Structure 1
């Protein structure tokens, strides 16, 4: 209620400030000035007659004329001021309605009229409660909905053979890596996480950052997108080792966003964007979501532009002969293909690679990349974007 009292009082002050100029100078002030003017003229006539500058007859005529004007001005000064002040009221009322009504309508659209006060201390306490109330990894996995993937039957049969064969060879690193990757491709993220855990156990101290981020990828997917306490513990350990690692920075930001701390989410995602490889999938995810948390945190932030060819590169390519230009493009395509094969990438990179191969007429490679993309992005919305590029390249229906 106090908020509305203050808001209405401010609206009234603004409306009065707008209305004040419409009222103009009061008519009484203008009439008083007229009376003083005519009285001054009367005194000047008497002074001129006394000095002999005008005759008595001429002075009498002038006094009579000024006297008539003085009487008329005096009557006007004594008359009610309604006519002078009244016309401002019709102009004031619509202005007040527009100002107050517009302010209330704007607040109803942009604000939250039904929401109570949210002091900083209460919001921080709520964030701590949300963080403490997170389910464990096993609870989240049990509650997460199934995510079946529509995959070719021969691929499903191949993965089933891996499920049977790999547990009989507990130290087969390659087998567990394949099982982890293909379980994830089929949307069986909990099984993929267990297989990835075995990969890390076999590798021991040789397990690198990518191995551990791959485990977190699968754990978060298996929990329905929730960053559980178990995932957080792994993330904290990784950030202690590599504070600039884009994957852990992204997931720590995701955790903060889930517990209503957009200010902290923004800090993590900003670091991921500015320190990570622009083509890395976690950087792409952070870039896609940082605008929302920045707005909630009250920060005006625009991610840095994605790197691309410079003006000099473009000019150089235009000056090349067709054969040299094709060779340069093939070099760029091969570089992109090698990076995707080594460390993966966002769906946009896969689509760009397939499209470039189609332009170069290398449909065999485009078809092979499309087949691999169907496994990597099976069951995800990103697959539709890659399929569109594959259709343009003529390797998909």
Structure 2
């Protein structure tokens, strides 16, 4: 109730100030001819002062007086004809004030009833974090969401491909421990749009792989779960994403989906940080990097970041560059590669970059036989990332690969 009293009182005070301005403007209004009269009288006084100082002659002063007097008579006649301009009548001003008050008080009350939440208690940051964690812990499981999601229309498959897929299903059913069969089944079920069947086959692939499960296998499992749930990231999908990142902390698809998951549970700030870190290390032409760049501005706004950093895309040859290099002679190909290496070196020297770019440059120089230059770059990188153990570890691995480890 206190909030509503303050809201109404504020609107009422604003209406009073506006009403006062309307009435004050009405009282202070005067004809334009009255202003002209004051100017002409001041001009007459100025003529007398100029004559006393000897600036103008008596004849000129008389002529100017005559002209100003004529203008004074004309302005006075105009005032007499127009009378005093009282402005709008009192009733019009009264109606205007009532309308303003009604719009401010009634309109403000109606808008807040539609869009506000007067009874909602304060929500400090700590409370919102607790609510987000509760939402994350209590969100529906994969099975619950799949039960509610409307199934998509079956994908129209070529008859021959549909028969082959059914044969593959039958074969895998007969040989449940066939790892390669489940790998093919997961792939083709996904191609056919049967994402629920695809992730179940992928789960079996992981089970049969034992301890040698790569990060991409878990990232693929999570993606199939997310597609089966129509974009929702369940606790089971989150677990698969974290399994992937445990094996490869820079797995791009896993970072992309984990950032989306954080946004879904009310933590866009964490999702934004995950995406920024992923973009610094991901190839510019990768699908997940393109998706993150397309949504980063909106996510930054939701995270409360109004001046997001400019994240340069990591340098490196595109697919078109690779295809073009395949048609070149060995000498031209070497020259092309050296040009890309020099471009990367120039960018790092002027703009800097993540440790992955420095490591890429060191490795490339080692392959090209530029040992001394690779050593110089390594020393510069060690100075740039001094104190960053993780970055130095990446640099040392690149130096070892280039054969210049000290």
- Indicate the TM-score class for this superposition, using the shorter chain for normalisation: 0.5 to 0.7
1:231 aligns with one of 212, 231, 237: 237
| Equivalent in the alignment of 2:116 | 116
Aligned CA distance change for structure 1 residues 154 and 79 (closer, same or farther; 3 Å)? closer
Say if 2:140 is the partner of 1:135. yes
What do the CA deviations read for 1:300-325 (whole angstroms, capped 9, x no partner)?
66775696879xx8xxx8xx9x9969
Q: Equivalent residues in 2 for 1:282-361 (5 A)? A: 282-297=288-303, 299=306, 304=312
Q: Is the partner of 1:211 in helix, strand or coil?
A: helix
Q: Equivalent residues in 2 for 1:1-397 (5 A)? A: 2=7, 5=11, 31-39=37-45, 41-42=47-48, 66=65, 73=72, 114-116=114-116, 121=124, 127=132, 130-132=135-137, 134-147=139-152, 148-297=154-303, 299=306, 304=312
Aligned CA distance change for structure 1 residues 112 and 286 (closer, same or farther; 3 Å)? farther
Aligned CA RMSD, in angstroms, stands at: 5.5
Q: Are the equivalent residues in 2 in contact too, given 1:274–1:304 (CA < 8 A)? A: yes
Aligned CA distance change for structure 1 residues 309 and 275 (closer, same or farther; 3 Å)? closer
Measure how far apart 1:136 and its partner are. 0.2
Aligned CA distance change for structure 1 residues 199 and 80 (closer, same or farther; 3 Å)? same
Tell me, in whole angstroms, the C-alpha distance in 2 between the residues paired with 1:84 and 1:132.
79
Q: Is the partner of 1:277 in helix, strand or coil?
A: coil
What do the CA deviations read for 1:348-384 (whole angstroms, capped 9, x no partner)?
xxxxxxxxxxxxxxxxxxxxxxxxxxxxxxxxxxxxx
Q: TM-score, normalised by structure 1?
A: 0.52
What do the CA deviations read for 1:34-59 (whole angstroms, capped 9, x no partner)?
434434645776898xxxxx9xxx89
Aligned CA distance change for structure 1 residues 201 and 68 (closer, same or farther; 3 Å)? closer
Q: Are the equivalent residues in 2 in contact too, given 1:287–1:303 (CA < 8 A)? A: no
Tell me, in whole angstroms, the C-alpha distance in 2 between the residues paired with 1:275 and 1:206.
25
What do the CA deviations read for 1:114-152 (whole angstroms, capped 9, x no partner)?
532698648767755654553101112222333422112
Measure how far apart 1:267 and its partner are. 3.2
Tell me, in whole angstroms, the C-alpha distance in 1 between the residues paired with 2:233 and 2:115.
28
Moved more, 241-250 or 210-219: 241-250
Relative contact order higher in (CA < 8 Å, ≥ 6 apart): 1
Q: Is the partner of 2:172 in helix, strand or coil?
A: helix
What do the CA deviations read for 1:9-46 (whole angstroms, capped 9, x no partner)?
8xx7xx99xx9xxx999865664454344346457768
Aligned CA distance change for structure 1 residues 203 and 70 (closer, same or farther; 3 Å)? same
Measure how far apart 1:278 and its partner are. 3.0
Q: Are the equivalent residues in 1 in contact too, given 2:215–2:243 (CA < 8 A)? A: no
Q: Is the partner of 1:206 in helix, strand or coil?
A: coil
Moved more, 179-188 or 73-82: 73-82
Measure how far apart 1:75 and its partner are. 9.4
Q: Are the equivalent residues in 1 in contact too, given 2:202–2:221 (CA < 8 A)? A: yes
Aligned CA distance change for structure 1 residues 205 and 33 (closer, same or farther; 3 Å)? same
Tell me, in whole angstroms, the C-alpha distance in 2 between the residues paired with 1:210 and 1:82.
92
Moved more, 164-173 or 26-35: 26-35
What do the CA deviations read for 1:167-192 (whole angstroms, capped 9, x no partner)?
44343221121121112222222222
Moved more, 290-299 or 174-183: 290-299
